[in-house]
């Protein structure tokens, strides 16, 4: 997507500010059935083109509400410790700030691939913060979680600069990103190490994440394990840190998820309830792993009301 009315670079290092104006897409006037058919056809056709990834397609179809993006802001000293901020074009005073951690097996991913998430959250009035974080094999656990804590620290310190309210900071993540968000919410030592109490988090929405698990063989290296190591490690499991005093959590699952078993959410929610904590669960029976995050992109919101459910949850807190 090409930006409209992009202002010049700011004086903040190599940050870039890009204004994305509203787009008039043909899907807007279609019936739900036609919208589904057209969006599915478009997605398949564009992905089939040489060099066009699924993220290219998702990001090419957003922009219905418009936002201002400030890109590549450093929150640490390492190359991957940068983040993008998405502000609604019509920002309301004291907007909530949502920090979104993407997934990718703790080994892949880029904030630029998730512009559709920044657009989605800003369309609901939130200031969205999308950090990159260091990945395996550059680092192993817990360094990617520590990067997440550093991003929260940055958001807390800089929320007002972007029109957000530091008293209303929310975490959100999908897959491996949900794992990071859950650990930051439940294991208070990560935020304590950057000078914050975990209660600076008002609430957390975790989408399709692993919480009570032994990593599959291809992911074990990210946790300093060998491919043949099948012993559970409590330090990596959010369920191990449930104490009943953490910020409220929303656990979203697609019941057809074959990548991260839905039982992860079931076990974490049960542990939180046993401890007297606050948790809500939403299941989408006909959705798999990718469909949960794909539904945040405007043409695919018919897949599941993840955006509206998450925004409503945050507003209750």
Nearest to 108 by CA among 54, 168, 46, 176: 176
Nearest 5°: the CA angle 211, 81, 161 is 100
> Are 68 and 18 in contact, with CB atoms under 8 Å apart?
yes
Q: Which residues are within 8 A (CB) of 116 and not within 5 positions of it... i.e. 6 or more apart?
A: 58, 59, 61, 62, 296, 297, 298
- The series of mean pLDDT values per 10 residues for the chain, 317 residues long, is 34 39 31 49 50 78 78 98 96 95 98 96 97 98 98 98 98 98 98 98 98 97 96 96 98 97 97 98 97 94 97 98
Q: Which residues are within 8 A (CB) of 34 and not within 5 positions of it... i.e. 6 or more apart?
A: none
Query: How many angstroms separate the CA atoms of 245 and 258, rounded?
Result: 31
In a domain, 71, yes or no: no
Can you tell me which residue has the tokens 């904590």? 277
Q: What letter does residue 93 receive in the DSSP assignment?
A: T
Query: How many angstroms separate the CA atoms of 182 and 174, rounded?
Result: 10
In a domain, 176, yes or no: yes
pLDDT at 84: 98
- State pTM to two decimals: 0.86
Specify the number of domains making up the chain: 1
The pair of structure tokens assigned to 165 is 């309210």
Query: How many angstroms separate the CA atoms of 230 and 304, rounded?
Result: 34
Strands 67-74 and 82-88: antiparallel
In a domain, 291, yes or no: yes
Query: How many angstroms separate the CA atoms of 2 and 21, rounded?
Result: 10
The pair of structure tokens assigned to 50 is 């040489």
In a domain, 278, yes or no: yes
Check which CATH number belongs to the domain holding 173 and give it.
Answer: 3.40.50.1820
Beta strands in 23-92 (DSSP E): 67-74, 82-88
In a domain, 127, yes or no: yes
Helix, strand, coil content of the chain in percent (nearest 5): 40, 20, 40
In a domain, 53, yes or no: no
> What domain range is 144 assigned to?
91-315
Q: Which residues are within 8 A (CB) of 245 and not within 5 positions of it... i.e. 6 or more apart?
A: 277
pLDDT at 31: 37
**What is the side-by-side order of every strand in the sheet holding 127-131?**
16-20, 67-74, 82-88, 127-131, 95-101, 164-174, 201-207, 249-254, 279-284
In a domain, 245, yes or no: yes
pLDDT at 209: 98
In a domain, 200, yes or no: yes
pLDDT at 54: 82
């Amino acid at each position: 997507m090409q930006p409209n009315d992009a202002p010049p670079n700011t004086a903040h290092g190599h940050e870039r500010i890009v204004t994305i104006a509203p787009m008039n897409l043909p899907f807007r006037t279609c019936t739900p059935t036609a919208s589904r058919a057209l969006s599915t056809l478009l997605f398949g056709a564009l992905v089939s083109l040489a060099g066009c990834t699924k993220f290219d397609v998702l990001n090419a179809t957003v922009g219905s509400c418009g936002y201002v993006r400030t890109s590549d802001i450093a929150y640490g000293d390492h190359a991957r410790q940068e983040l993008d901020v998405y502000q609604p074009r019509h920002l309301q005073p004291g907007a909530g700030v949502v920090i979104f951690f993407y997934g990718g097996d703790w080994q892949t991913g880029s904030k630029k691939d998730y512009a559709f998430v920044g657009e989605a959250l800003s369309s609901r009035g939130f200031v969205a913060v999308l950090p990159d974080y260091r990945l395996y094999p550059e680092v192993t656990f817990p360094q990617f979680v520590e990067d997440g804590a550093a991003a929260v620290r940055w958001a807390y310190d800089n929320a007002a600069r972007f029109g957000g309210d530091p008293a209303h900071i929310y975490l959100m993540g999908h897959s491996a990103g949900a794992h990071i968000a859950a650990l930051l919410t439940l294991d208070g030592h990560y935020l304590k190490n950057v000078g914050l109490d975990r209660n600076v988090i008002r609430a957390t929405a975790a989408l399709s994440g692993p919480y009570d698990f032994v990593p599959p063989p291809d992911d074990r290296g990210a946790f300093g394990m060998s491919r043949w190591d099948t012993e559970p490690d409590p330090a990596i499991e959010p369920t191990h840190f449930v104490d009943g005093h953490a910020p409220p959590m929303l656990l979203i699952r697609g019941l057809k998820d074959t990548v991260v078993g839905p039982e992860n959410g079931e076990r974490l929610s049960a542990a939180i309830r046993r401890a007297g904590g606050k948790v809500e669960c939403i299941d989408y029976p006909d959705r798999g792993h990718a469909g949960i995050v794909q539904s945040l992109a405007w043409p695919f919101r018919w897949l599941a009301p993840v955006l509206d459910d998450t925004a409503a949850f945050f507003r209750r807190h």
